[in-house]
Amino acid sequence: VGLAAVAAGTSDIRLLTYAAVLPYRNPFLLAKAVATLDVVSEGRVILGVAAGYMEAEFRALGVDFAQRNALFDECLAVLKQAWTGEPVHYRGKAFEADGNVALPVPEQRPHPPVWIGGNGPGTRRRVVAHAQGWMSMPNPRTRTWREHTSPPLENVADLRVLLDELHQAADLAGRKEPIDVVHSLRDAPKDRAELVDHLLALRAAGVTWVTVNGAGRTPEEAADRIRAFGAEVIAPVHAA
């Protein structure tokens, strides 16, 4: 709903879901919603997805946390079939279809770009095999050690390690299509000059997009923050 409102009020910016947790969603309904938004926005949608990691949310939604990766894979397979506009015949463990057709088809063909979020090796394998982009997630070492989660990612050096693994996996798979690399500025320096240097380092490492929190207490405050970021950060990075 939020992205539909943004689509109606804009003409150029891309519309990213950051991130749709696939195991929470019926893939047939999601395919139709994403395709409709892509048509309304004239082909500006990027579908950012993830397998999810908050067990409490899975319990609240009645979804088996232990099955999240299997559900993710099924959902992604169904999405791509549904976006063809052809009858879908599918038999999976969680979903099935007997000739169902999802319309409209997306404006972007064969489908909107899919970016997958997460730092684990399984995520990067999925990116190489099925997606157009990888959304890396800041992950402090203290949290990694405490919760036994995915690899740490708290600086550019950590990111380079994961990017090397991603590119090696792409080479082994014989992939020629480039992979967009998205990184969050959640833990980036607050000082503007330091932030510009940080962005230049990310670009040198291979990052192609960054996500920024442009929220404000009012729409006017949010717009002011976004304009200031453009003038004080984006412009110097582009000029470098």
In the chain, what are the domain boundaries?
2-178
**Chain segment 10-41, per-residue pLDDT in tens:** 999 999 999 999 999 999 999 999 999 999 99
Superfamily of domain 2-178: Luciferase-like domain (3.20.20.30)
- pLDDT, mean over the chain: 93
**Chain segment 113-130, per-residue pLDDT in tens:** 999 999 888 999 999 999
Percentage of the chain exceeding pLDDT 90: 85
d(CA 83, CA 38): 11
Q: What share of the chain is helix, strand, coil (3-state, %, to 5)?
A: 50, 15, 35
pLDDT band at 215 (very low <50, low <70, confident <90, very high): confident
- Between the alpha carbon of residue 5 and those of residues 11, 17, 33, 44, 212, the distances in Å are 12, 14, 14, 13, 19
Residue 151's pLDDT is what?
A: 82
What pairing do the DSSP bridges indicate for beta strands 88-91 and 96-100?
A: antiparallel
Query: Among 43-47, 89-93, 153-157, 217-221, which range has the highest average pLDDT?
Result: 43-47
Q: Model-level pTM?
A: 0.92
Q: Which residue has the higher pLDDT, 235 or 151?
A: 235
